[in-house]
Structure 1
Amino acid sequence: MRIIKDADVRKNEILDAAQELFNMNGFDGTTISAIIEKAGIARGTVYYHFKSKEDVLDALIERHCERLLEEAKQIAEDRNIPVMKRLIQTLLAMNGDKDGTPGVLTQQMHRPQNALMHQKTHQTMLEGIPPILMGIIEDGIKEGIFHTPYPYECLEMVVAHVNTVFDDYSDKLTGEALLRRIKAFIFNLERLFGAVPGCFDSVITLFHFENGSEE
């Protein structure tokens, strides 16, 4: 008896197979035929959902962002966690490379030929992150931790800065140069949100920074 699956189920099966192959063989080392074989479905089914291998990658990145934002949202809404700890945990949940090593999706986004995909990811995060963090900042304002009349705008500035300095140029920042930018980032976070000095020091844990000169 032939099993008929929901279209979304089939689509996710294709994406799961593609992600596993991309992780093992890289994007360039994976073919549509390999994805079809791995997923165990008909060629026409793949092309019903995706026009090309690039389209599969685009959908993988979109799904990846959606899952990160949903995980972050669940943490952000847990008011049993103190404000600063909740903020850091929420930001950590948004980091797709949790062990500090860029995954295949991150590597592909940073390739020059995938510039449009990279831009789309940045836009998704710029639109998705501030609303999630807004509740935490508002709680911090109520508790007297933060003092700013522009919480949402400040969050947009922070996300835009992270997208450019710590994402687009991440491969060019190492050692002392990276440390200085992290310290400057923390310095400006305190001023943007009207927080006391040292309030954002734990933000450094987000960067998996290792350097003998760190103070």
Structure 2
Amino acid sequence: MARIAKIPEERRNELIDAATTLFLEKGYEETAVSDIVKKINVAQGTFYYHFKSKSEILEAVVDRFISGIETTLAEIADNRQTPAAIRFNDAVNYLIAIAEGSREVLDDVHQENNAVMHDRIAKMTMARLVPVLARIVDQGAASGEFNAHHPAEATDVILSALFWQFHQPRLMEDKQRLARIRATLEHLLDRMLGTPDHTFVLNLN
């Protein structure tokens, strides 16, 4: 079957699509560059025209996932007409919705043969999303809504607590414990950001 010539950006996106599918199905460790090119019927030279290594295409896979989340969070953060507390609450609930809607993907990422992918996602998430959420906290502190002395560190701790919950799929089956964790996280938000009790309401159900 003859290969179809495509513009470079389109071919690059196809390679990322193929790598994403294979990393989730087989695991990053078990996927070879030859598997990726075979999936879309291109030569290995095409792969190396776009990416230097399997590690580099993993960066592209994770970047695509995080970029979409980062864009939406930035839209929430930059809506200055909305009070900071509401924006922060909306941002956290957006992250919860993403995690709950991606449960099967997260289960695949948490497999032992995807440890490298999991680590890359965790590092890029903290590096890219903490500054966006910290921006809301900075604005809330400036307006007097928040009383957080270290916005970036507070956001780091809050995200870490959320990520711990995302890594506990069985929690979703224990509704009573999930309710207690939700109340604890809401209390943590109030204490760390210096807001009145029950300012934050998380959509953990």
Taking structure 1 as the reference length, the TM-score comes to 0.73
Who is 2:185 aligned against?
185
Query: 2-side partners of 1:27 and 1:162: how far apart?
Result: 26
Question: How is 1:85-104 mapped onto 2 (pairs within 5 angstroms)?
Answer: 85-94=86-95, 97=98, 100-104=101-105
CA displacement 1:24-46 (0-9 Å, x = unmatched):
xx613999778546645444313
| 3-state SS of paired residue (1:172) | helix
Structure 1 equivalent of residue 85 of structure 2: 84
2:98 aligned counterpart, secondary structure: coil
How many Å separate the matches in 1 of 2:162 and 2:125? 10
Deviations 1:31-68 (A, max 9, x none): 9778546645444313543755x875564233211221
CA distance in 1, matches of 2:96, 2:135: 19
C-alpha distance in 2 between matches for 1:185 and 1:114: 28
Moved more, 152-161 or 76-85: 76-85
Contact 1:36–1:43 (Cα < 8 Å) also in 2: yes
Q: Secondary structure at the match of 1:97?
A: helix
- Percent of pairs identical after alignment? 23
1:85–1:38 distance in 2 versus 1, CA, 3 Å: farther
Q: How many residues align?
A: 196
Letter aligned with residue 133 of structure 2 = L
Q: Could you tell me how far 1:92 is from its partner in structure 2?
A: 4.1
CA RMSD of aligned residues (A): 3.2
- The one-letter amino acid paired with 1:102 is R
Give the match for residue 166 of structure 2. 167
1:128-165 per-residue CA deviation (whole Å, 9 max, x = no partner) reads: 222101221122223322112222211111122222x2
Q: Does the CA contact (< 8 Å) of 1:92 and 1:98 recur in 2?
A: no
Alignment of 1:54-73 (within 5 A): 59-73=60-74
For structure 1, which segment, 146-155 or 36-45, has the greater mean C-alpha deviation from structure 2 after superposition? 36-45
Between 94-103 and 28-37, the greater mean CA deviation after superposition: 28-37
The correspondence of residues 128-147 of structure 1 with structure 2, limited to 5 A, is: 128-147=128-147
Amino acid at match of 1:187: H
Amino acid at match of 2:140: G
Q: Which has the higher helix share?
A: 2
Which residue of the partner structure matches residue 26 of structure 2?
Answer: 28
User: Residue 143 and residue 198 in structure 1: after superposition, are their counterparts in 2 closer, same or farther (change >3 A)?
Assistant: same
Q: Please list every run of 5 or more consecutive structure 1 residues that lacks an aligned counterpart in the other structure.
A: 210-215
